[in-house]
Amino acid sequence: MSTDQVIHLEKVNKWYDDFHVLKDIDLIVNKGQKIVICGPSGSGKSTMIRCINRLEAHQKGTIVVHGTELTNDLKNIDLIRKNVGMVFQQFNLFPHLSVLDNISLAPIWVKKMPKNEAEDIAMSYLEKVKIPEQAQKFPGQLSGGQQQRVAIARSLAMNPDIMLFDEPTSALDPEMIKEVLDVMIQLAEEGMTMLVVTHEMGFAKTVADQMIFMDEGRIVEQASPDEFFNNPKSDRTKLFLSQILNH
Amino acid sequence: MSSTAIQIISRSKYYNWLVKNLFSTWVNTILTVIALIFVYQVGSFFLNWAIFDADFRYNFQGELIIDRGFCSKNIVPGEYGACWAIIFARWNQFMYGLYPIEEAWRVNLIYALLPLAIIGILFDKIPFRRYFIYFTFIFPFLAYFMLYGGPGLSVVGTNKWGGLLVTLFLGVTGIGLAFPLSILLALGRRSKMPIIKSLCVVFIEFIRGVPLITLLFTANVMLPLFLPDGVNPDNLLRALVAVTLFQSAYMAEAIRGGLQAIPRGQVEAAQSLGLSYWQTTRKIVLPQALKIAIPPIVNTCIGLFKDTSLVLIIGLFDLLGIGRAALADMTWTKLYYEVYVFISLVFFIFCFGMSRYSLYLEKKLKTDNS
């Protein structure tokens, strides 16, 4: 079992000045698991996954990814970032680079891959997210859904074995949500380890094998989707689900 | 048929524009007329003075003007305009200072190559841009060798440099050296490392809080104190140091403005892909930040270019210094208007050029699809 364990958070605490964002977070993620994290805004769910690739630093507790502990050691941070991909709510594509350059940039500069090899890989991932014809365009010329798919391809091009999704569909128009979720479902079916912060409960029911509900910096409930949706234990989870499912 | 129709339409188009913008109401019409009279009066006065009633090389009697006594306006007072002969007589000094005239071809060559050296930086869609950029990096060494001299070329000390040569040398070199320095300062000011950050803040705020004249005096008097004995940099180099430091502080603030406009998500995305700080800075942050910062950067460059004229205060003969020297010459004295109008015109050409370039870039950036 323990060799399958790819992420381990133990008693993780984080403060923004006086504000206690994460309180004693314990979390174990096994290889190939798909974990969907939900909760009201300000509950710390984004902060938690941003701690996993050190976009945010935690102050107490330990975070171990692939047996490497996250500390201030830059070498460890680099090592972990190479294996952990991230997709953001606002896509964060590089507007001054073409789609192809957006994707091939990190393989060329981080993995020191020859340019044409990196571009071949970039094209193969663009095909995977079904927009190879947009390779020469700039991010500003694409729709939100296309941009988010490019962002996923950009992340995958580094060949990570863990993917973090931080509300990947929250900034999208409703008709574009499906095209992004479809790519994520496909990724899940291929066995990628995924941590997804989202309020797309349909998606959660389809792919998640663990649901996490967070509130006020704590993990309030962690259960299988079946348990979580049909028989939630805490009142706060019930309240949250009733609000999110009824609307 | 159709061509006359088009003529009528286009004529009515101008007519409509005139009516709408200049003669729409009585007040507007009166203002238009007053403005036109004013423009006509000032314009005709200036053109008559500067061109139609002016002497160039010969006076109204057809004599070559060799001192101010030959100027038409000094022969028949009140009848004639400017006497540009002083500019012709002093042309070499305006262009080269006291540079030996038999060596002036070296300066001319550098003047001619200067546009080639900067064109690659200014425009990104010219053919063979890569080679222009290579030339940009070779140019400073070439310019140094040609202007100062070395093996095969006689040495011309910077104390002999003057006029436009000094103005351009300080302006172009100052901007060129200040640019990389200002990028480091701007990055340093946003650094998370407290010592680097405070060093940059102190430097920028100190320089910005001090007039350039003070810096020039300081560089002139104090620079030798900081250097080992025997190392005695010449005046021009001291001025260059002052000008560069001054310019770098202002440019750094312009660049910092650009850096602040880059959303945090850009850096986070780059970091999450595993790019290092310098890779992120070079590939993601600076290309976007500099693009935004170009108009304010050009602004500071225009300011610096004009400020180079302050070096006359520490005894360097830039364009303005040469002009004042010409006026101090007994044979040409009192032709103030001619000299200062000419100097203004030269500064105007360069500054207006930079200003138009900045406008061109702003338009270009707006239409760029990023």
Nearest-angstrom CA–CA distance, A184 and A208:
11
Per-residue pLDDT for B370 more than 50? Answer: no
Q: Does residue B146 carry a pLDDT above 70?
A: yes
Query: Which range (A142-151, B216-225, B332-341) has the least confidence?
Result: B216-225
Across the interface, of A82, A93, A151, the residue whose CB is closest to B274 is A82
Instruction: Place B8 in a pLDDT band, splitting at 50, 70 and 90.
Output: low
pLDDT band at B73 (very low <50, low <70, confident <90, very high): confident
Percentage of the residues of chain B whose pLDDT score is greater than 70: 95
Residue of A nearest to B286 (CA): A96
Neighbours of B360 (CB within 10 A): 12
B60 vs B188, more confident: B188
Integer Cα distance of B320 and B326 in angstroms: 10
Give first-to-last CA distance, chain A, whole Å.
Answer: 40
- Measured distance CA(B189)–CA(B255) in Å, rounded: 11
Find, among B315, B319, B184, the residue nearest to B238 by Cα: B315
In the predicted structure, residue A1 carries a pLDDT above the cut 60: no
CA distance B344 to chain A (A): 40
**Can you give the pLDDT at residue A44?**
92
Report the distance separating Cα A204 and Cα A201, nearest Å.
5
Residue of B124, B266, B271, B272 to mutate for A, most A C-beta atoms under 10 A? B272
Chain B contact present for A65, CB below 8 A: no
* Class of the CATH-defined domain B162-369: mainly alpha
Cβ–Cβ < 8 Å for A64, A232: no
The secondary structure of B273-297 as a DSSP string is TT--HHHIIIIIIHHHHHHHHHHHH
CB A213 within 8 A of CB A236: yes
- CB B258, CB B290: distance < 8 Å: yes
State pLDDT tens for residues A45-69: 999 999 999 999 999 999 999 988 9
End-to-end CA distance of chain B: 47
Whether the pLDDT of residue B163 is over 90: the answer is yes
Distance from the B277 Cα atom to the nearest Cα atom in chain A, whole angstroms: 11
Q: How many CA atoms does the CB half-sphere of B29 hold within 13 Å?
A: 5
- Average pLDDT along chain A: 92
- The answer on pLDDT for A120 being more than 80 is yes
Say if residue A123's pLDDT is above 90: yes
- Rounded to two decimals, the pTM is 0.85
Q: Give mean pLDDT, residues B273-298.
A: 92
Cα–Cα dist A135/A98, whole Å: 7
List all residues 6 or more positions away from B190 whose beta carbon is below 8 Å from its beta carbon: B197, B256, B259, B260
Could you read off the pLDDT of A139-177 as tens digits, one per residue? 999 999 999 999 999 999 999 999 999 999 999 999 999
Out of A90, A93, A110, the one facing B275 most closely (by C-beta) is: A110
> What pLDDT, on a 0 to 100 scale, did the predictor assign at position B25?
87
A residues 73-132 closer than 8 Å to B (CB): 78, 81-82, 84-86, 88, 90, 92-96, 105-106, 109-110
* Count of pairs with CB atoms under 8 A, one residue in A, one in B: 65
Dig out the tokens for A14 from the structure.
């984080």
ipTM score: 0.92
Facing residue for B269 by CB, picked from A78, A88, A110: A88
Kindly identify which residue of chain A lies nearest to residue B264, measuring between CA atoms.
A92
Does pLDDT of A82 surpass 60? yes
Res. A194: pLDDT tops 90: yes
- The DSSP code sequence of B107-137 is HHHHHHHHHHHHHHHH-SSSTTHHHHHHHHH
* Residue A25 reports pLDDT greater than 70: yes
**Beta strand spans in chain A (E):** 5-16, 19-30, 34-38, 60-65, 68-69, 84-87, 162-166, 193-197, 210-215, 218-223
Per the DSSP assignment, residues forming a β-bridge with B318 are: B163
Per-residue pLDDT band for B227 (boundaries 50, 70, 90) equals confident
Smallest Cα–Cα separation from B175: which of B304, B339, B37, B42?
Answer: B304
Most B CBs within 10 Å: which of A65, A82, A96, A113, as the mutation test of the B interface? A96
Look at residue B235 in the predicted model and tell me its pLDDT.
Answer: 86
**Residue A47: partners with Cβ closer than 8 Å, 6 or more residues away:** A14, A21, A22, A56
Q: How far is CA B194 from CA A57, B18, B159, B191, B289, in A?
A: 18, 61, 43, 7, 23
A109 contacts B283? CB cut-off 8 A? yes
Q: Tell me whether residues A110 and B274 touch, CB distance under 8 A.
A: yes
Chain B nearest CA to A105, separation (Å): 9
pLDDT band at B108 (very low <50, low <70, confident <90, very high): very high
Residue A102 contacts residue A158 (beta carbons within 8 Å): no
The domain segmentation of chain B, as residue ranges, is 1-52, 55-85, 162-369
Give A-chain residues touching B272 at CB under 8 angstroms. 53, 55, 81, 84-86, 155
Contact B268 A106 (CB under 8 A): no
Question: Does B291 lie at the interface with A, CB-CB under 8 angstroms?
Answer: yes
The upper half-sphere exposure of residue B76, i.e. CA atoms within 13 Å in the direction of its Cβ, equals 10
Report the residue of chain A nearest B370, measured CA to CA: A95
Choose from A94, A98, A125 for mutation: most chain B CBs within 10 A. Answer: A94
Please identify among residues 236-265 of chain B the ones whose CB lies closer than 8 Å to any CB of chain A: 263, 265
B272/A154 CB distance under 8 A: no
